[in-house]
Amino acid sequence: MDLGKAHARLVAGIDTTPEIRGAFAAHPRHRFIPDVIWPDPTGLPLIRSQKPHAWARTVYTDDAVTTQANDGGAGTVNTPTSSSSAPQVMADMIEAAGLGPGMRVLEVGAGTGWNAAVLCELVGARGRVTTVEVDPGVAEHAERALSGTSARVVTGTLHDAPGSYDAVLVTCSMNRIPAELAGFLAPGAAAVLPWSPDPQSHSTPVVAVRAEGDRLTGGFVREGSFMRSRDQRPPAERFPGLGAAPDAVGTFEAASDEVIDSGAMTPLMLMLPGVRIGVGMRPFDGSPRRIVYLGAPDGSWAYLWPDGALTMGGPTGLADRFTAAYRTLEGAGFPALTAFHLDAAPEHGLYRVSAEEIGEWVHEADRPASG
């Protein structure tokens, strides 16, 4: 494979501004990807020296590439712990941050260093890019890959002064926004980060917020599925209701496939803070089918099945909350994710989510937004 041509094709497929596309073009992806990558949840890693063509094909897909599994250790399942994000996701986050020449930019999560190199290109010689990485091995790789750029790589904790940055981009997901992170923002500066109210959720939509006094306020930009910030990883928990007989069985107004395909899953997650909601596979009529599952910290649970049946158990009416939220979305014509807004007060540990299209629905969080 001609890697130069492969990179040109990858860049040509990114839907973004000419400036951002040009910054990607200046830094070929393969120069930042380690020689060992993990293309599958199970199985052996892909090693460049052994399978160079397969390695190159994986690198030059338009998807994320897992560059570390299991925090650098072994495991029966390759749990991603560092990656090169999908180029379109990177471009959308960069565009949402409103970057330009001369800006001071902080990246949280250096990963391969590719994103930081693109940022350096956009801010130019008068700008400054700092990328901070908690994993020493990942940071060392990023620093080598970024040799020849102006990026500064910091391993561990960042100790820069408050208000040091005109934009912050976070490449790991959070369910609370640390006050110290918000403190790095200059007045009016943007922070673009993957966020979700529940630490167990696989949906981590990207939000772009700006500092307004002691608050961070802004809209959701796009869907996302990012690895958790290492200091916010949830403990392994058995899902409520797994293998349990239901306390009650009802009928929902839509089947599981209809709910999943409606685009409502992430809005429902935003409307049900404290509820773990996702898509699972269960046997149904002799074959595996998709279901919607919900679980709450008090042990309440509900499953929505392909025939519209709703099985449930536990002390609280989780199915009722799910039904009310879904009907609200349905009544508003299933507004897009970009209709939702986040308002967070890191110093006070509060957040709320709202959307004008559903009548300024607001939920004041039970779980803190900061740590």
| Active site (catalytic) residues | 85
Single-letter residue type at 72: G
C-beta of residue 72 within 8 angstroms of C-beta of residue 135 = yes
CA–CA dist 99, 116 (Å, integer): 12
3-state secondary structure the chain: CCHHHHHHHHHHCCCCCHHHHHHHHCCCHHHCCCCEECCCCCCCCEECCCCHHHHHHHHCCCCCEEEEEHHHCCCCCCCEEEEECCHHHHHHHHHHHCCCCCCEEEEECCCCCHHHHHHHHHHCCCCEEEEEECCHHHHHHHHHHCECECCEEEECCCCCCCCCEEEEEECCEECCCCHHHHHCEEEEEEEEEEECCCCCCCCCCEEEEEEECCEEEEEEEECCCCCECHHHCCCCCCCCCCCCCCCEEEECCCCHHHHHHCCCHHHHHHHCCCCEEEEEEEEECCEEEEEEEEECCCCCEEEECCCCEEEEECCCCHHHHHHHHHHHHHHCCCCCHHHEEEEEEHHHCEEEEEEHHHCCEEEECCCCCCC
C-beta of residue 141 within 8 angstroms of C-beta of residue 165 = no
Other C-beta atoms lying within 10 Å of the C-beta of residue 234: 12
The two most distant CA atoms of the chain are separated, in Å, by 64
Other C-beta atoms lying within 10 Å of the C-beta of residue 140: 14
Cα–Cα nearest to 94, from 190, 172, 161, 1: 190
Strand partners, 294: 277, 302
61: its two tokens: 């897909």
